[in-house]
Amino acid sequence: MSKIDITRYYSTKRKRDVVTGAGILLFAALIVFQLYITIVFPLQLRHQQLLIAEMEKDEMYEQIDRIRDLIRKTGGKNVAQRGEINLVNGILDQFALHVRENGKEMTPEQVSDLRNVLSRYELIVMTWREKKTDNFHIRQSTLDTASSAKTIETSILNSH
């Protein structure tokens, strides 16, 4: 048997038509999609997570500034109230200083912890501004920031 006879029996001649073009196009699209899923998509997710972390830090900065502004506008009726306001103002100033110096090294968990502490402070300041009562005193059970602040500080020092 010669070569010409074999190709006549076992060869398929495919014409260029719409079905062939669509098949080739779908195959190429599948390859491009797989490359996107394996290479580009993880990079986009990582970039998005970084953006979310930066947005959380920016919101933390804004929250500190907002609470400090609120407390500066809060006036006390007597010496005890003004003393408590000054104490909380001093603590918030320390938080602001710490965050400005170490904010870039803070992990998302640390940012979340500090935002929780700041939210409690904000709630207390808002309560002071709304109630207008003689009882301003913060109970230690209401706001225990020493452990949270120490944990955040220790984590930052250990990360260096």
Cβ neighbours of residue 74 under 8 Å, at least 6 residues apart?
Answer: 85, 125, 128, 129
Q: What is the pLDDT of residues 101-129, one digit of tens each?
A: 888 888 888 888 888 888 888 888 888 77
Q: What count of other Cβ atoms lies within 10 Å of the Cβ of residue 35?
A: 11
Question: Does pLDDT of 95 surpass 70?
Answer: yes
Contact between 156 and 107 under an 8 Å Cβ cutoff? The reply is no
Cβ neighbours of residue 142 under 8 Å, at least 6 residues apart?
Answer: 120, 124
Supply the Cα-derived Rg of the chain in whole angstroms.
32
Q: What is the pLDDT of residues 79-89, one digit of tens each?
A: 877 888 888 88
Task: Please state the domain extents for the chain.
Answer: 3-159
Q: Assign residue 6 a region (left: φ > 0; alpha: ψ between -120 and 50; beta: otherwise).
A: alpha
